[in-house]
A and B are shown apart, each in its own frame.
Chain A
């Protein structure tokens, strides 16, 4: 069989896209999707499925796209994944489904993510959603049994979706004024348009979930309050997200933003539309981002799109090979003209007489011997200090457990690093009836992992509630 190359996804040219916040890839049209789907070998042993954390029947949905049964394709996907429009865009496919694909050897792996996105977008454009009737799970007084969900990130939304489909009344409490968690405040518009997240939340409501913003579980209502208010179980999916700083001098200068703050100001509070929106962000002309993970790439690429910014530098201690971000994102960052200052470690952030950032003193590094983990440790080159001029410095160094909620819950067992301890097979915590999952249990991970955790917990909650009901009768 002739090996056709992977069908390219059309995208905005780098010169154009750095002037806007629109999505970078346009996605496949019908003809392209069908052509890409027909490249799939329909293996007897579809190993791709094992690579997907939620085991979507990838082989089948690709076959359906190939046969132009788009409705069937999205149905297949939705059996296992309730947020395909999101996952098709943000999943690290190259480490999951596509890593397993047998076509990988040929260098022309099937674009599974692209096809998943196509099916989801096709559905949004071509169908009107009709909720299938579900048999409600009722309490003694005839009302649907309520389950409280803390946090509206992918973990919470998925748990809510699953519970709604089982007939419960899930009520999602979100501390912020909008729902979606990292999907709205972290991941930029040009990678995941916010209207997609909004649509998913509308869908949840249409199948019977309730969403309440502005409410902090643990503070507005404690876990005890929720049980008293009649919730039979609680799922905690509050994310990890408290930023880490380097601990170098100058970190409290004006113009130093944690990546979380920078991203939130821009994604959530729309500072890029200032003064139409009221939240400002001071970027100045030159921006330095410290770190080389996905969050650093997002921050750098957002900075590149801000008015008045003409120089964005990624500062990273190790070399290109060790950069933890997705290859695709690094490639796009390169295309957008972001400067990579590798083997460079920040020493001090420098300020002017008004306490504003004016630059960052750095030192050159070289890679030493590999440590036990096999990673080569960077060591400083003596006397190689130099200054990168910058008006804004953004440490993107990962996050730690946020104790906002966890410290207020009596009896909740935490790990040494402050994450909630759970049984990974059920999501159970140390408190009966209280479940958890997503970043707050694992530390920063992925959207699909958080969704998987939400799904597992929903199943366990169902079992728990039905079990305790039997006891009562």
Chain B
């Protein structure tokens, strides 16, 4: 059991938790992820580490309530506790001075790129960040990203805030305006990472994406997170989660991500009933 020291609603369905877990913070690095279980009967949910305080042993995570497990997680409260947190998993992001870095986050991918942007900046890179959301009321961590970057563009699909359009539009403009990045890091919905990778391929810019494929144990034991990278099968949990965006088979990944859609509906249905029972 791990104590929840902080709970913050970033939007209606996106929450930030701080949890006491010194075994995670001891060696946590940008790009690592953790696996949490809200309770004993829960699923194992992989989440990227957003931030950490090594001295206090507190790890911070951000998640969107998209299915039963994350809804359950979101119901836990400050002062309460989480059944299981393990990690840090995955190879951490390889930080060095590349020169200019474009760091791109889409939706709940933003908390995942935040520590990468910060680490790149600390390593001397010029960090130009782009974050994208559907609309204004879905924007999260704008201030934090600003502090971790040299410049920040916020894009909304409907134009309700910042520039109108997708992150790729902003990236294209950035590249063409002459501020060509030496490396692009993109984390967000698979479709976004695919679009970014397609774009940068044309310009020949090295691009790293982080794959949040379906995972379970995250210890390399099940192979459920396998993805096709440049024609060979890799496990995102131990070989990744960061991969060369130009080699990833995004279509295959998108298909695998739909694996449990029907079950999710069944479980959610039961979960709602439970809530209704409790509330009514």
Contacts and interface: CB of A to CB of B under 8 A. Distances in A.
Interface of A: 175-177, 185, 213-216, 219-222, 225, 239, 241-243, 245, 247, 251-255, 257-258, 260-261, 264-265, 268-270, 274-280, 282, 354-355, 402-404
B100 interface: no
B258 A355 contact: yes
Given A214-B86, A220-B87, A242-B235, A276 B219 contact: no
B42 A278 contact: yes
A-B pairs with lowest CB-CB distance, top 4: A280-B263, A261-B222, A355-B255, A214-B86
Interface of A is mostly: loop
- Range of interface residues on B (Cβ < 8 Å): 35 or more
B217 interface: yes
21 contacts: A175-B217, A185-B217, A213-B86, A216-B88, A216-B89, A219-B89, A220-B27, A220-B87, A241-B221, A242-B220, A242-B238, A247-B233, A252-B228, A260-B222, A261-B222, A261-B223, A274-B263, A278-B41, A278-B72, A280-B260, A282-B259
A260 B26 CA distance: 30
Given A216-B89, A219-B88, A242-B238, 17 more contacts: A177-B86, A185-B221, A216-B88, A221-B23, A243-B221, A243-B222, A245-B223, A251-B233, A253-B255, A254-B259, A257-B224, A258-B224, A268-B217, A274-B263, A278-B41, A355-B256, A355-B258
A278 B220 contact: no
B252 A282 contact: no
B238 A403 contact: yes
Contacts, number: 134
Given A177-B37, A254-B259, A275-B270, A220 B221 contact: no
Contact of A220 (B24, B216, B217): B24
* Residue among B42, B89, B217, B255 with most chain A CB within 10 A: B217
B43 A258 contact: no
Given A214-B85, A216-B87, A176 B219 contact: yes
Contact of B267 (A175, A280, A355, A404): A280
Interface string B14-37: 000000000110110000000001
Contacts of A216: 86-89, 219
Interface string B219-237: 1111110111000010100
B68 interface: yes
* Residue among B87, B220, B227, B258 with most chain A CB within 10 A: B220
B69 interface: yes
B26 A264 contact: no
Interface in B233-253: 233, 235, 238, 252
Given A220-B87, A269-B216, A278-B267, A264 B23 contact: no
Nearest to B2: A214
A277 B41 contact: yes
A241 B223 CA distance: 10
B219 A278 contact: no
Nearest to B262: A282
Contacts of B220: 241-242, 402-404
* Residue among A177, A185, A260 with most chain B CB within 10 A: A177
Contact of B263 (A241, A276, A282, A402): A282
B83 interface: yes
A253 B228 CA distance: 12
Interface string B38-68: 0001111000000000000000000000001
Contacts of A225: 26-27
A219 B260 CA distance: 30
* Residue among A220, A257, A354 with most chain B CB within 10 A: A220
Contact of B44 (A239, A254, A269): A269
A176 to B, nearest CB: 6
Contact of B23 (A214, A247, A254): A214
B5 interface: no
B276 interface: no
B221 A402 contact: yes
Contacts of A252: 226-228, 233, 252, 255-256
A276 B226 contact: no
A175 B219 contact: yes
B219 A258 contact: no
Nearest to A401: B220
